[in-house]
Amino acid sequence: MTATGRGGLFGGLFDRGAAGAGDEEWLRAMLDTEAALARALERAGRAPTGAGAAVTEAAQPGGFDVGELGRLAASTGNPVPALVRALSAKLPAGAAAAVHQGATSQDILDTAVMLMARRALDAVAADLAAAAAGAAALAEAHRDTIMIGRTLLQQAVPVTFGLVAAGWLTGIDDARRGLARIRGERLAVQFGGAAGTLASLGDDGPRVRALLAEELGLPRPPVPWHTDRLRILELAAALAGVCGAAGKVARDVTLLAQSEVAEVREGEGGPGGLARPGGGGPAEGGAGDARRGGSSAMPHKRNPVAAIVILGCTRRAPGLLATLAACTEQEHQRAAGAWHAEWEPIADLLRLTGSAASWAAGLLAGLEVDADRMRANLDAAGGLPLAESVAAALAPALGRLAAHDLVAEASAAAAASGGDLRGALLGLPERAARLRDAGITAAQIDAALDPAGYLGSAAAFTDEALAAHRSFYA
């Protein structure tokens, strides 16, 4: 996990971590593919001795002008022909003959995507492991920390913050499993030539293809996949799954960090925090204040920056996934337009997923939990979150429906008067008499209103999530 982005106005936000897929990564991956192909051709006897090493030496990203390659791409529909010419120009004739031999532009670009994805998935997996460790630590530390559960954005029944963090943990671990499957099974070399037959290599085609796969360390599928785009779609779906898991954490944090709730806050030393020159705490200033979560207009603000930026990344994932899903319908042996439409969306999705995972790792490592505030918010609800518990306690004596109706009536009265549920049940003579007649004591009501007694299997579920996490990372 790196703390800063690659540059540009928004790089520190949306190009964070080590999973970038910008121009530099594209160029490196294309050159790596061309160099590996030259080595494979030499090993197959189709290029002179030393050609592979010569091409590999020449295929260094620093020797190429990305802007010029981009301008020349307008003439051919993609940047590979210009790259091939530029690379060949750096080589003697014998070695130059090994550049791009047997390949088509799509072979180079598709394989480059696979190489970029492999590098990016490794970076994302590392950040997810750190995020999972943070979530696991929170789940363990707050296994018994009681808070209000919320459903449909309304107060529900008590839960524990440990269970909340365990839910985050499970989502992150599931997302990492999805990435691992793609990393191990669905990234593959692409090498089929003009129409997927490798006709220009004659009988050597299968051997060169196998050697290319070996040089790159990528699996070799049964046939070229020029218009079978399920690999791209499955990669995109796994990345979107990571965004979903990270987005869940971020959305919960933004809600729990609201001023009126204030049950969690991002740590000052988390991702994005800027230190004062020479060390010390966060920098301070006026409109240009670099304090963690500071506002340009409101000095009191402490915004949950990491959670907000995670959501800024993950909200874009569904649209990118939809574009890539639409691109899976491709005609005949090579597509006109659909393949081209994949390049930027898949690169954006790799970059944004990597950024979200990097932010999530820092967010969970530094998240501050206010257990006292959680309990205060629960107590301030006047026992209403325990209405279900009270109804269950009254049901044996009153009957289930009668108990429900009585508690609903008392809950409405408490809400209307600003009182608490206990007072609404025991403070009104008519209700109190009804409870006494049924043999229900104040002690029983108090027991039913104790949130610690109505947590169900929260602790067991938290323990189970932690055990599954330890098993996964063992």
Residues with a known catalytic role = 295, 334
Alpha-carbon distance of 424 to 431, in angstroms, equals 8
Neighbours of 239 (CB within 10 A): 32
CA distances from 144 to 457, 459, 460 (A): 11, 7, 11
Chain length of the chain: 474
Alpha-carbon distance of 457 to 218, in angstroms, equals 45
Q: What is the pTM of this model?
A: 0.91
Residue 155, pLDDT score: 94
DSSP secondary structure of 360-403: HHHHHHH-EE-HHHHHHHHHHTTTGGGHHHHHHHHHHHH-HHHH
For 244-273, the pLDDT digits (tens) are 999 999 999 999 999 999 999 999 754 444
Residue 4, pLDDT score: 55
Going along the chain from its start, the domains and CATH numbers come out as 11-266+304-373 (1.20.200.10), 384-448 (1.10.40)
Question: Strand 146-151 to strand 154-160: parallel, antiparallel, or no bridges (unpaired)?
Answer: antiparallel
* Residue indicated by tokens 């325990």: 386
* Residue indicated by tokens 């971020």: 250
Residue 168, pLDDT score: 98
Please list the rounded mean pLDDT of every run of 10 residues in the chain (474 residues). 67 90 96 98 97 98 97 97 98 96 98 98 98 98 98 96 98 98 97 98 98 98 98 98 98 97 84 35 38 56 90 98 98 97 98 98 98 98 96 96 96 95 94 94 96 98 98 82
Q: Is 441 exposed, middle or buried (0-12, 13-18, 19+ CB in 10 A)?
A: exposed
Residue 289, pLDDT score: 43
Output phi, psi for 96, to 5 deg. -60, -30
